[in-house]
Amino acid sequence: MQGIKDKIRAIPDYPKPGIIFRDITTLLQDARGFRKTIDEMVQPYAGTRIDKVVGIEARGFILGGAIAHQLSIGFVPVRKRGKLPYKTMQQQYQLEYGTDVMEIHVDAIQPGEQILLVDDLIATGGTAEAAIKLIRHYEGVVIGCSFIVDLPELGGRKRLEAMDVKVLALCEFDGH
């Protein structure tokens, strides 16, 4: 069977020239590849108490939902501003050109809950950092972050590790 990295499609010059977009939809549509991905994102946490999975919009919802189902625990979405229907807490984060805001429901995380944060890719780490700050605001404990892809040149892993968060990525790609 091909490795996970081999099942990720590279799309050059998307969303802008010079960027190579790492498209995980080809991995998700492969049943065995998808299953292997979920298993590998969960396996390092075997024996660790995890109370909830938090997934970052949008591909983190797919992965986080599958992981939460596999672990028989709850799932919490972190979304861009204005997408959640109930009262929310907001966290601003830096984009390449400007800022954006992530939100979480005010009742989503309880003090002391052990949280696994999930997304498809870590680049600069800004979005994941915002999610961690939201979780910590409610005194949740981020036991780790699981990603499929790391783009190490962009420094996201180091940024999260500087926050004392364990980072797992199943594969790495050079460049942006």
Active-site residue list? 59, 96
The number of beta carbons lying within 10 Å of the beta carbon of residue 127 is 24
> Count of CB atoms within 10 A of residue 60's CB?
26
Region label for 106, one of left (φ > 0), alpha (ψ between -120 and 50) or beta (otherwise): alpha
Q: Which residues contact residue 6 at a Cβ distance below 8 angstroms, ignoring those fewer than 6 apart?
A: none
State how far the Cα of 65 lies from the Cα of 71, in Å rounded to an integer: 10
Question: Which whole-number Å values give the CA distances from 115 to 102, 139, 171, in the listed order?
Answer: 17, 10, 22
- If phi > 0 it is left, if psi is from -120 to 50 it is alpha, else beta; for residue 123 that is alpha
Give residue 149's identity as a one-letter amino acid code: V
